[in-house]
Amino acid sequence: MKKSDTSSNPSRSVQLSRRGLLKGAGALGGALTASAMTSGSALAETAIDRILNFSNRDRWNKQFDAASTNRGSVASRTPIFAPQTVDYIQQAIAEYQGIVGGGGWPRVPSDKKLRLGVSSPTVQVLRRRLMISGDLSASAGISNQFDTYVDAAVKRFQERHGLPADGVLGKYSFAAMNVPANVRLGQLETNLVRLRSMSGFLGDRYVMVNIPAAQIEAVKNGRVEQRHTAIVGRISRQTPILNSKIYELNLNPYWTAPKSIVRKDIIPLMQKNPNYLAENKILVFGPNNEEIPPTQIDWNTEEAVKYRFRQEPGRINAMGSAKINFPNPHAVYLHDTPQKGLFNKFLRFDSSGCVRVKNVRDLLAWLAKETPGGDRRSIESIIASGERTDLRLAEPVPIYMTYVSAWSTDNGVVQFRDDIYQRDGVDELAWSQ
C-alpha cells in the first residue's frame, strides 16, 4: 500500500500502522474502549461498525429471491459469462423459435395504464401475452380482471426486462412488452455470438460490467458473490467495451478531468459561473505543474484544454471516496460518486464513459480480500481519515466491460435489456429512446 502526498509529488510507500487505522476510525466519531482492548470483551459500536452494518445497501435477497408465478425465480447466482450460459441461451432460442412459429404474441394496446384492480378487455390481451412468454400460468385463465396473478406476472416480466417491478404497465413496460417475438428471437441470436466469444476461462475471480443492464457482477469460482447497480456512459459518451485487469484502488482520490470534459463541460460552466472551479475545489495546473489562476484563462476560447484540472479529495469529489484502476486506452475506470441518488433512477446512462458503482466499498473489500490492509474495516478507516491512499492489489483481478442485452440463466428465465447504444441492429430494441 502507498499513501499519496497531498502535493503534486509522487506517492511514497508507507505501511499502515495500527495507530493510523484507529485514528481513522476516530475521525468518524468512534473508538475502541480501553477495557475492550485489554479484556477482549465485546466492542462498543463505533461509527465504522454502523457503516458496516448499514441496512440501506443492495439487498442480496432482493437480488436473488424474486417471486415467480410460473417458472424459477428471475435472478440467479450464475454469472452471465458462465460457460453454460451458451447452452441456456440456445435453449431460449429454441423456445422463441417455437413462439415465432406459433404466430408470436399479441400487441397489448397502450392507450391507458394497467395496474392491479383494473377491469378492461385489454387485460384479456395482456393475459394471453404473458402466458405465451411464460410469465403467467395458463391456469390463471382469460378474463378482464387485472388480479393478483396478473400483477405478479407483470412484475416478473418487468424484472426480466430490467424494469422497475411495480406491477404498473406504463410507457416503458408497454414498449418492452410490444417488441415482436421475432425481433426478440433475433436479439437472442445476436447475443449468442457475444456470449460464445466470452465462454472460455475468465479467471477464478473477475468483475463483469454489463453496459445495457447497468450492472456489475463480482464472480468467484463460477458464482456471483456480489451484484452492484451501476451508472454507465450516456449515448453521446459511451462506456467502451474492453478487457483488462484491476491492479489498484485509490482511496480519497484526486479527480483529473479528461480533456473532453474540460472542453464539453468545464469551459461552458465557467462561462456561466466564474466561481465554478473554486466552489468545486478544482485547481488548474500548467505544463510545468505550476498552479494557474482561473482569472488568467480566456474562457471564451479553448485555451483551458491545454491545462490540467484536478479536483481535491473530499465529499464533493466527482469520484467520491474511491477509484478502481485498470489499464486501458480510453482513460476510463470504476468509481464512487457523491450523487448517490442517481442509482435510484431507472435509466442509469448518465456518465461520461466511466462507471459509477453503488455500494462501492463492498466491491473494494472484495477486490482487496487477499491484499494486506485491504479488509473492509481498514478501508473504512482510510476513507474516514481523508488521506489520499493507493492500495495495490496483491493479485490483479480481471475486468470485462461488455455489452450483453439478452441472455438466459440456469433457472430457464430469459432476460432482455434495452439496447441503449443500438448495437443489436433493430430500432425497436432501443425502446427507452
- What distance in Å separates the CA atoms of residue 407 and residue 236, rounded to the nearest whole number? 26
Q: Is 354 a catalytic residue?
A: yes
Q: Are strands 334-335 and 322-325 parallel, antiparallel or unpaired?
A: antiparallel
- What distance in Å separates the CA atoms of residue 304 and residue 274, rounded to the nearest whole number? 13
26: its cell numbers: 476516530
Which among 137, 136, 109, 138 is positioned nearest to 123, based on CA atoms?
Answer: 109
- What distance in Å separates the CA atoms of residue 197 and residue 208, rounded to the nearest whole number? 14
Instruction: State the DSSP string of 248-275.
Output: EEEES--EEPPHHHIIIIIHHHHHH-TT
DSSP 295: G
Selected catalytic residue, list 161, 228, 330, 335: 335
Which among 333, 336, 287, 295 is positioned nearest to 314, based on CA atoms?
Answer: 336
Bridge partners, residue 283, by sequence:
310
245: its cell numbers: 485487469
416-430 CB burial, b ≥16 within 10 A, e <16: bbbbbbebbebeebb
Catalytic residues: 335, 354
